[in-house]
Amino acid sequence: MTTVPDSPPYGWTFLVARGRQQGYQPLLVPDFLAESNEYGVLDQATGGESGVAITPVHGLVAGDVVLVSRSERLGAGDIGWLSGPATDQFGRPLELLYGFVLRGGSIGEVDDADLAAARAEAVATYRRFLAAESAFEREISRPFVLRSIPELVLSTTPAHLVDPGTETPEPVAVAARPSPIVSRNLVLVVVVAIAVSAAVWALLLRGRGGPVTEVDLVELESTAVDCTRPITVQARITTDDAATVTYHWESKLTTDSKPVTVEFASAATKVVETTVDPAATSGAFSFKETLVVEHPNSTESSHEYKLSCR
C-alpha cells in the first residue's frame, strides 16, 4: 500500500506519449494511481509547449488530484539519436505529455524546477520505451518534494472584532473554504473544463483518451510460413468500458483494409484478425502491419513481421 506523505507537498511524475510504432499510452504513472488502476485519468492532462496546464480531477478512488502538465515536441538529441528527425514511422513528430500529479489540495504557483525534474524522469522513461517498444512495461513513479506553492488565501480578523487596546493581528494564511454554493459552481466549472480540454486534446493528439486503452499486434507462432496460402495476422483490442469500436488494417499485403466494427458490452480484450497474401513472395521477406482504431477514440499499433517461406 502506498504511504502518502503529509508535508511538504509532494508530486508524482507522469508521462503519456507514443513511440515510433506504438500509439499513445501512459508510460510512467504515479504509484497510487497504478494501485487503484486509475492511471487512465492522465489522459485528461493538457498543455502547450509555451505554457503549463493545471487540471483538477475529482471523484477518484485514490482521491482528488491536480495534474500539472506540459507538452513538448522532441528533437533527435533529446532521445539519444545521433542524427535524423525525431518522428514516428509515419513521419509525425514525437511528442511528450509530461508533468506531475499533486494529491489533494491545489496549486497556486508552479515552480519551473518541479517541471524540470519531471521532464528528466519522463525523458529517461521514454528512452527506455523507444529501445524496446513492444516489450516495454509501464513504469511507476515515486513522490518527490515539490517547490511549487499550494494555493492559499489571506484571512484577517474583522475590524469590529478587534479590541482597540490590542495590536492588529497579522494576516494569517489559511486554506480557502468556499461556501456550498460556490463549491457547487466551482465543481461545475471544473467538470466542463475537463470535458472540453479532453475533447480538444483528443483531436490534437491521435490515440489518447476514450474507452480503447490498448492495441497490440500478436506475434505469429512461427516465422516459417506456407507462402502458397494466406497468413492470418491477429491483434488484441482492449477497452475499459462498453464501446462500439471501428478499426481498419494498413499494409501492402493486407487483403481487406475496409473499416470493421466490433461491439464491447463491457471492459474487455478481444482478438481481431486479417489475412495477408504472400503468394508472390519467396525466400525471406518482411512486411509491416498496422491496426488503426478510428472510433470511439483514435489509436494504433504496428508490428514488422520478418518471415521465410517453407
Pick from 289, 140, 293, 264: nearest CA to 202: 293
pLDDT at residue 160, as a whole number:
44
pLDDT at residue 106, as a whole number:
84
Residues 36-71 have pLDDT tens digits of: 999 999 988 876 555 899 999 999 999 999 999 999
The pairs formed by 30-35 with CB atoms below 8 angstroms and a separation of 24 or more are 30/101, 30/140, 30/141, 31/2, 31/140, 31/141, 31/142, 32/2, 32/4, 32/62, 32/103, 33/60, 33/62, 33/65, 33/101, 34/138, 34/140, 35/1, 35/2, 35/62
The answer on 279 and 185 residing in a single domain is no
The answer on 198 and 140 residing in a single domain is yes
Q: Is 258 left (phi over 0), alpha (psi -120 to 50) or beta?
A: beta
Residue 15, C-alpha cell as written in the block: 508521462
CATH number, domain containing residue 280:
2.60.40.10
The CA distance from 21 to 11, in Å, is: 30
Least confident of 22-31, 201-210, 291-300: 201-210
Is the residue at 70 inside a domain? Answer: yes
Q: CA torsion 147→44→24→241, rounded to 10°?
A: 140
The answer on 59 and 29 residing in a single domain is yes
The answer on 114 and 188 residing in a single domain is yes
Residues 111-156 have pLDDT tens digits of: 999 999 999 999 999 999 988 899 999 999 999 999 988 765 443 4
Is residue 173 predicted with pLDDT exceeding 50? no
β-partners of residue 10 are 145
Is residue 265 predicted with pLDDT exceeding 60? yes
The answer on 250 and 183 residing in a single domain is no
Is the bond leading into 278 cis (omega within 30 degrees of zero)?
Answer: no
- Other Cβ atoms less than 10 A from the Cβ of 269: the count is 12
Average pLDDT value for residue range 202-228: 75
Owning domain of residue 47: 10-162+175-204
Query: Which of 204, 225, 256 represents a domain boundary (last residue)?
Result: 204
Is the residue at 170 inside a domain? Answer: no
**Residues 6 or more apart in contact with residue 199 via CB below 8 angstroms:** none
Is the residue at 150 inside a domain? Answer: yes
pLDDT at residue 182, as a whole number:
43
The answer on 23 and 117 residing in a single domain is yes
pLDDT band at 203 (very low <50, low <70, confident <90, very high): very low
The answer on 196 and 225 residing in a single domain is no
- Asked whether the beta carbons of 117 and 46 are under 8 A apart, the reply is no
Q: What is the mean pLDDT of the chain?
A: 78
The answer on 41 and 93 residing in a single domain is yes
Is the residue at 5 inside a domain? Answer: no
Number of domains in the chain: 2
Is the residue at 257 inside a domain? Answer: yes
- Asked whether the beta carbons of 310 and 297 are under 8 A apart, the reply is no
Is the residue at 136 inside a domain? Answer: yes
In 48-179, alpha helices (H): 112-131
Is the residue at 3 inside a domain? Answer: no
The answer on 217 and 198 residing in a single domain is no
Is the residue at 2 inside a domain? Answer: no
To which H or E segment does residue 200 belong? helix 180-204
Is residue 204 predicted with pLDDT exceeding 50? no
Q: CA torsion 208→203→233→278, rounded to 10°?
A: -140
The CA distance from 113 to 241, in Å, is: 38
Degrees to nearest 5, angle at CA 202 with 28 and 64:
55
Burial of 129 (0-12, 13-18, 19+ CB in 10 A): buried
The answer on 230 and 105 residing in a single domain is no
Is residue 4 predicted with pLDDT exceeding 90? no
- Asked whether the beta carbons of 299 and 215 are under 8 A apart, the reply is yes
Is residue 223 predicted with pLDDT exceeding 60? yes
pLDDT at residue 83, as a whole number:
55
The answer on 29 and 156 residing in a single domain is yes
The answer on 186 and 79 residing in a single domain is yes
